[in-house]
Structure 1
Amino acid sequence: MDRMSDHERDKPETGEPFLADYLQFLLATASGLASHSFHVQAAAAGVSVAEWRVLACLSDCDGQSVTELARLAQMEQSRLTRVIERMDNRGHVTRKRCRDDRRKVHVWLTGQGAGIARDLVARARAHETEFIESCLSPAEGRRLKALLVKLIERAGKGKVHAIRR
């Protein structure tokens, strides 16, 4: 008589744990650990994670279309629209319709938003340095970032695709 449970029969024959070696789990866990304490800093500055993503994207290239901003900020466009509306109401961004295509809306940082973005980008850079130094050597940190860029470029064929969160 077989006394093995269905759960035991469903385990891989290798006996190796799945999550401990699953790239997507490892990437998500590392991202969460790397981001958490900075997200706490952003929240203390009155900025949500979604708003931080918008500020960071616009600090690199102001005046993005909502569609492009959704891709860069890795957000569903409908969610991004609500975030932008909230930021517009608080005076952090302004929205302008494209003259050539009235369906397109571009988002720009206001002076206030640009100041918040500069401050948070500086904090994010400092946080990144502290986090890497607490876990890796400088060479390992550079290598990790280079490998992640390579993975993103090859998997996305040069494009970062929106994550559906």
Structure 2
Amino acid sequence: MSNDLPPSPNQGFLADYLQFLLSTASGLASHGFHLQAAEAGLPVAEWRVLACLWDSDGNTITEIARLAQMEQSRLTKVVDRMDARGLIRRERSAEDRRLVHVWLTDTGRALADTMVARAKQHEAEFIAASLTEAEGKRLKALLTKVIKRASAETAHAVRR
């Protein structure tokens, strides 16, 4: 039996364990796009930062760490690399010197625009291969509901 596939429904605990199902689905859904990002010379951690800034340029390191689901110390190293590559720039807050805001450069914005378009295309293809359009919308709505409820009850961010 291949280790790449989840167990069949009659194989016990994992086959019906929500966290396992979510993790497996996430890995399968992300894999093809992560390959595209790698081909573009973009590590997954950098893609996450670009996506966060594409949505809300100028976020603080703390907020990006929360959204990108990364330990802040790891994110700082990622941001250092991205700064050296000319994808982002950092500015310390004038109001609170402890806060550092991160902005996309023109180069970073162009790469983010390209990769967000690719991510949207990959998502559409992945959903179309597995679900109807209505099922895809419903799945996203259910996941959003779960995330909002769980986030309201959890004081800390998920970190990977």
Query: What is the DSSP-based 3-state SS (H/G/I as helix, E as strand, rest coil) of the residue aligned with 1:94?
Result: strand
Runs of 4+ in 1 over 6 A off after TM superposition: none
- Where does structure 1 lack aligned partners over 5 or more consecutive residues? 1-14
In 1: Cα distance, 2:141 partner to 2:151 partner: 15
Gaps of 5+ in 2: 1-9
**Aligned-partner residue type, residue 89 of structure 1:** A
Counterpart amino acid of 1:138? E
Matches of 1:164 and 1:130 in 2, distance apart?
28
Mark the CA change 1:159 to 1:45 in structure 2 (over 3 Å): closer, same or farther: farther
Corresponding residue number in structure 1 for 2:71: 76
Return the offset for 1:147.
Answer: 0.3
TM-score, length basis structure 2: 0.91
SS at 1:96 equivalent: strand
Aligned residue pairs total 151
Mapping 1:111-126, distance limit 5 Å? 111-126=106-121
- Shift in alpha-carbon separation, 1:159–1:128, aligned structure 2, 3 A: farther
Find the counterpart in structure 1 of residue 136 from structure 2: 141
Which residue of structure 1 lines up, in the alignment, with residue 3 of structure 2? none
- Matches of 2:154 and 2:118 in 1, distance apart? 26
Indicate the SS of the match to 1:156. Answer: helix
Is the contact between residue 152 and residue 159 of structure 1 (CA under 8 Å) also seen in structure 2?
Answer: no
Inter-partner Cα distance in structure 2 for 1:158 and 1:137: 32
Radius of gyration: which is bigger? 1
Report the counterpart of residue 100 of structure 1 in structure 2.
Answer: 95
Output aligned runs, 1:1-165, within 5 Å. Answer: 17-157=12-152, 162-165=157-160
Deviation (angstroms), 1:157: 1.5
Q: Name the aligned partner's letter for residue 32 of structure 1.
A: G
1:57-90 CA-to-partner distances (Å, cap 9, x unmatched) read 0000000000011001110000000000000000
Percent sequence identity is 65
Shift of 1:45: 0.4
Once superposed, what is the RMSD of the aligned Cα atoms?
A: 1.6
On the 8 A contact 1:92/1:110 being kept in 2, the answer is yes
TM-score normalised according to structure 1 size: 0.88
